[in-house]
Structures are given as C-alpha cells and as structure tokens.
Amino acid sequence: MSEGIKKTDFVQSIEKGLKVISAFGAENPRMTLTEMATLLDMTRANARRILLTLQHLGYVTSEDGKWFSLTAKVLSLGYSFLSSQSLPELARPYMQQLTEAVNESCSLSVLDGTEIVYTARVQTKRIMTIALGVGTRLPAHATSMGKALLANLSPAEAHPILEKLSYEAFTSHTLDKPAFLAHLDSIRKQGYAIANQELEIGVRSIACPVRDKTGCVQAALNISGHASRVTVEEMETRYLPALQKTVAQIEAALHQL
C-alpha cells in the first residue's frame, strides 16, 4: 500500500479492478476466469465478480461467457489523463518541426515510478521505424528520457525510485547500479542524457528535460535514431542543438499557459 493513506481509506475493490484491467496485455489478450484468478492469486469468486462488473461497465467483453478480453472503452481511462494534460498537445507541432529537421523520430514522456510512459510521439516516414506509441512504457534506467527525468528529481523523490529500479541488463551496454547512479550526476550537470544501445542494440537516443515556469520538470523530450546512422558524438553535435531549441520553444509556450 502507498505511504500517506490510512488502511481505512484504502478501497481494495478498486485496487483489484485495476489489477484485472492491467493483467490483460500482449501476452494475455484473452483469459478465462480461472486463468485470471490464477495470474492475480485471487479466488475465482472474486475474479468473477470483478470481470462481470467490468463487463457491465463496458470495459471487458466476453462473447462466449468463457473468454474475457478488454474493449476499446479502456482507452478512455488513458485518454482522461492525456486530455487533462496540455503539454502533449502543445508540444506536438514543435516535435513535428524537430522530426522534419533531423529526419529522426522524437518522443515526449513522463515518469511513472520506475518506468517512463510515452505521452506524444512523432515518427519519421521511413519504412522501418520502431513500433512505439502513446502509452508505451519502458524501463527508466535504460532510456535517455528516463535518465533525464530521474536526474532532475529531488533526492527525496529520487531515492525510493532508484531503490526500486531493477537495473536489468537488456544489452551489454546497460549500466549497472553503481555506474548508473554516477551517470545521473553527469546528466544533471550537462543538462541532457544519452542512451547508447542500453535498451536495444542498434538504438541510440538523446533527451532533455522540459520544465514549467516554476522550473519543475514536467516531461522529457528525445530524439532517437539507429546506431548505423548516427554516432554518440554526432548526437551531441548534430541533434542536441536542435533538441535544445525545441525544448526552449515548448517551455516558452508552456510558460504562457
């Protein structure tokens, strides 16, 4: 249970309902009642009540009464967050200009615990592009945007997240915990972060934090490209100036809100 909430204020039925929704995914697009109960370690009776309630509300469907799957209505939950955030909509035209200028994809994300969540993305028109979109979640420690966001948290905010990070090595380039923590210090000083094939071999990216008018970091913006097209040095000399210019434009527009 999260800190700062009394046990008497915690509504377990909401927690269980959200767990059921979150259980569906690429590996489990459809599940039976028994599979759901087993996956979430709950009784079949509990799983049944939750699934039937979600079905009644339109978030879950079951054509044969046996297999359950999510409906498109679930997207409205994420859209509620996105529609309440002016930053992604405000940033999109500037991101479009940036993508056209450097001919690489760019993305905007926020930090959610140990992961980043994409809130906006503009892709190049290349035939082969990385399949990422709004709502995509990636491990913060292996991404340039995650690094940029973590490096700009206060010590009190950063400590619990850094302790929860898995520091999973996705490639031979992924930094271990000591190296990562030292790396955050340099990111904080230089104002940008680079991920050099740390999540996936062949993918490099560079990111900068986006601040509101009070100086608080609201998101991170990055440019990503294939290692065969751009070196780390080129990212700093070619992409960083364009990225910093775009961030300044977004921040200027954000400050007018």
Report the DSSP beta bridge partners of residue 225: 204
How much is the mean pLDDT over the chain? 89
The residue-averaged pLDDT of 60-74 equals 88
Asked if residue 223 lies in contact with residue 232, where contact means CB atoms within 8 angstroms, the answer is no
Q: How confident is the model at residue 85 (pLDDT cuts 50, 70, 90)?
A: low
Query: What are the pLDDT digits (tens) for 5-19?
Result: 787 888 888 889 999
Highest mean pLDDT of the ranges 5-14, 79-88, 135-144: 135-144
Asked if residue 212 lies in contact with residue 254, where contact means CB atoms within 8 angstroms, the answer is yes
- Which distant-in-sequence residues (6+ apart) come within 8 Å of 104 by Cβ? 124, 223, 224, 225, 229, 230, 239
Instruction: Kindly list the domain boundaries of the chain, sorted by start residue.
Output: 7-74, 85-255
The residue-averaged pLDDT of 161-181 equals 95
Q: How confident is the model at residue 86 (pLDDT cuts 50, 70, 90)?
A: confident
Class level of CATH domain 7-74: mainly alpha
Domain 85-255, CATH among 3.30.450.40, 3.20.20.70, 2.30.29.30, 3.40.50.2000: 3.30.450.40
Query: What are the pLDDT digits (tens) for 185-218?
Result: 999 999 999 999 999 999 999 999 999 888 889 9
> 215: left (phi > 0), else alpha (psi -120 to 50), else beta?
left
Global pTM?
0.69
Residue 51 confidence (pLDDT) above 80: yes
pLDDT at position 128 is 47
pLDDT at position 20 is 94
Residue with more model confidence, 79 or 233: 233
Phi and psi torsions of 68, nearest 5°:
-110, 145
Query: What are the pLDDT digits (tens) for 121-138?
Result: 998 875 445 567 788 899
- Give me the sign of the Cα torsion angle 252, 253, 254, 257: positive
CA dihedral 55, 59, 61, 66 (to 10 degrees): -60
| Topology match between the domains 7-74 and 85-255 | no
- Which distant-in-sequence residues (6+ apart) come within 8 Å of 81 by Cβ? none
The residue-averaged pLDDT of 8-36 equals 89
Residue among 118, 53, 52 at smallest CA distance from 82: 118
